[in-house]
Chain A
Amino acid sequence: MSGKQKKVLWRIIASVAALVLCEVVTRLFSLPKYAELIIYLVPYLIIGYDILIKAGKGILNRQVFDENFLMAIATVGAMALGEFREGAAVMLFYQIGELFQGIAVGKSRRNISELMDINPDFANIERDGEIVSVDPDEVEIGSEIVIRPGERVPIDGIVTSGSTTIDTAALTGESMPVELSEGAEIKSGSINLTGLIRVRTTKEFCDSTASKILELVESSGMHKSRSEDFISKFARYYTPAVCIGALVLALLVPLVRMLILSMPPEWGDWVQRALTFLVISCPCALVISIPLSFFAGIGGASSRGVLIKGSNYLETLSKAIYVVMDKTGTVTQGVFEVVGVHHNRIEEKQLLEYAALAECGSTHPIAKSIIKAYGQEPDPARVTELTEYSGRGVTAEIDGKRLAVGNERLMEMIGVGYKHCHHEGTVVHIAIDNEYAGHILIADIIKPTSKAAALELRASGVEKLIMLTGDTKAAAEPIAREIGADEVYGGLMPEDKVKKTEELLKVKKKGSSLVFVGDGLNDAPVLSLADVGIAMGALGSDAAIEAADIVLMDDDPKKIALALRISKKCMRIVYENIFFAIGVKLVCLALGAAGIANMWLAIFADVGVMVIAVLNAIRALRIK
């Protein structure tokens, strides 16, 4: 609680005590009206003096629909009608509601900022052999900083000495620690867990990952959603409209009764109904709960590694029915891996070992994937007479055996018969002592979570999954089948992807949206063309963060489904709050006009609804 709030709390306690005392006194003694007014003024003024002052200022500034002004009129009116208890109590409840709202909003504001508190406020540099802490803003690019275990990485850079494990949960939402050693890139915002490392900075503090993320999330509230615009417009008309309604009740109805219907005017009764209207006319419950829901949704998402650049994108994402995915790097890992060893005459492991040894000098991605599948560092000392045939492969002598590792053309060159592979991918044939020994199949493999992600997307209401790729359709089809994509388009140049997306945008239902998911490297035009562009694995890639509307910090496709679920939950809460708050207010207005609802119910319509709406909004923070 802030100092301001504590003061209000004390005033509330004092006012409650005074009000109870007033009740006791008026029950025990029968006082004249003016004396009752005087004693009830004590709790009323304790709790309401600031509202009255603000209302006075509002009149001077011609702000008649200011809520302080409305509360002042309503309670002063009630006092004037002799409803002293109501007048004081309404002011009291109003203040309790405001206090609660302040505390709730402050708390969720703090919670959410804590989630995003990933920016350390110091960096360690070495000066004359001593480690000193400095403001990270002052560290220049290329300086060497020291990060001790338990500290947060302040600036992006490259590890120059030491090795450690780091926790990137704050950035990616992934709690699995990552191991780093010399030469590895390190992102600010992650936590150094085990070892002392030295890092040469490659960016300035303000351009580092953590600063970028913070900036992005903090400015997300500036892109307002349609629901927010609707509510602020609604509030702009609602309050004046209800006030006019109150005026009609107070003046017009009694006049009509008196002059046209020749009934008694009952001024007091109608004025009281009008005052009830004024209490209900405060728009705060509506206005607070909507941005709070979005803020909580965006905050909750960012703690899970999903950065949403504005509440408008959250709103659009929730209506997604088409999800268009790029294949390489999104559905698949975008790196080559050995997916099979076929027709091998010797043991699989042995074949991989030979192939890895033969390829040990190469940096080609294919060679790397074979060495990775072998799982050990090949010992180049075992390899002699290594000859490379460009575009074909290599031959070498290993452990006294003559090895040939390469494509069909290499096999043809050395005159060895080979077997074709029926699977899609790159095939590496191996011959030992001029005899065919089998082949290794290398392909871009699907991410382990792609299929689950596709299922989750469907469960969240996605009607169509479409896969686009620059690869051949033949290469893409098995992957599309595996994840259960409805449509797949292969052989697309970047401009073809734009065209395809435009076509899809034309056929989709009105009011629904199309989401494009890519790795953000070369699909920036499509990212911005789609209703919502999601870039994944974008950690540290400024271009992707710039082009996308939603950024997934790691490359797990399940995060797409998570983002969708977050958006749906958040929008459900937003609509619940809109309908609930407006609904209760309208019902209370109707009851108030009919004379059934009194000021007590009116204050519930104002404060109670707001409390419930705020509590509901905070639910958006927690997503399974």
Chain B
Amino acid sequence: MKKIYKIDVDCANCANKMEAAANDTPGVKKAVVNFMALKMRVEFEDGADAASVMEDVKKNCRKVESDCEIFI
């Protein structure tokens, strides 16, 4: 299952860090952040609950970049 989320982040490197953090979150198969479009595409593992996984993704992203937002 794939979903696209709107995000807000100020710098490109932070976007890359968010991408890495999202990819390290359990339940995420692959996450790609497009800084220019301010979007994050997340492919979930089979059987993962998107809503709860995204909460973790958000938490992990906040750790690497405190000033970021994911609109879930």
- Chain A: residues with CB nearer than 8 A to chain B? 54, 57-58, 61, 63, 66-67, 98, 101-102, 105, 109, 112, 218-219, 221-222, 224, 232, 235-236, 283-284, 287-288, 291-292, 294-295
Tell me whether B11 and A101 are in contact (CB under 8 A). yes
* C-alpha spacing A102/B8, complex, angstroms: 12
Q: Which residue of A lies closest to B16 (CB)?
A: A232
Q: Which residue of A lies closest to B34 (CB)?
A: A221
A-B contact pairs, 24 of them (CB 8 A): A54-B66, A61-B64, A61-B66, A63-B63, A67-B11, A67-B13, A98-B10, A101-B11, A102-B10, A105-B12, A105-B36, A109-B36, A109-B37, A219-B4, A221-B36, A224-B32, A235-B13, A283-B13, A287-B13, A287-B16, A288-B11, A288-B13, A291-B34, A295-B37
A222 and B34 in contact, given A57-B66, A61-B64, A63-B63 (Cβ under 8 angstroms): yes
- Chain B: residues with CB nearer than 8 A to chain A? 4, 10-13, 16, 32, 34-39, 41, 63-67
* C-alpha spacing A58/B68, complex, angstroms: 13
* C-alpha spacing A109/B6, complex, angstroms: 14
Tell me whether A219 and B13 are in contact (CB under 8 A). no
A284 and B11 in contact, given A54-B67, A61-B63, A63-B63 (Cβ under 8 angstroms): yes
Chain A nearest CB: distance from B65 CB in Å? 8
* C-alpha spacing A622/B51, complex, angstroms: 41
Chain A nearest CB: distance from B35 CB in Å? 6
Chain A nearest CB: distance from B33 CB in Å? 9
Q: Which residue of A lies closest to B4 (CB)?
A: A219
Tell me whether B41 and A63 are in contact (CB under 8 A). no
* B4 partner residues in chain A, CB cutoff 8 A: 219
Residue among A63, A236, A287 having the largest count of chain B Cβ atoms under 10 Å: A287
* C-alpha spacing A434/B34, complex, angstroms: 73
* B65 partner residues in chain A, CB cutoff 8 A: 66
Q: Would you list the 8 A-B pairs with minimal beta carbon distance, nearest first?
A: A221-B34, A295-B36, A288-B12, A287-B13, A287-B12, A61-B63, A57-B66, A222-B32
Chain A nearest CB: distance from B70 CB in Å? 16
Tell me whether A98 and B11 are in contact (CB under 8 A). yes
- Checking B10, B12, B66 against A291 with a beta-carbon cut-off of 8 angstroms, the contacting residue is B12
- Checking A221, A235, A236 against B37 with a beta-carbon cut-off of 8 angstroms, the contacting residue is A221
Tell me whether B41 and A219 are in contact (CB under 8 A). yes
Chain A nearest CB: distance from B66 CB in Å? 5
Tell me whether A218 and B37 are in contact (CB under 8 A). yes
* C-alpha spacing A66/B14, complex, angstroms: 9
Tell me whether B39 and A218 are in contact (CB under 8 A). yes
* C-alpha spacing A235/B17, complex, angstroms: 10
* C-alpha spacing A308/B41, complex, angstroms: 18
Tell me whether A291 and B13 are in contact (CB under 8 A). no
* C-alpha spacing A482/B64, complex, angstroms: 60
Tell me whether B13 and A284 are in contact (CB under 8 A). yes
* A219 partner residues in chain B, CB cutoff 8 A: 4, 34, 39, 41
* C-alpha spacing A236/B39, complex, angstroms: 21
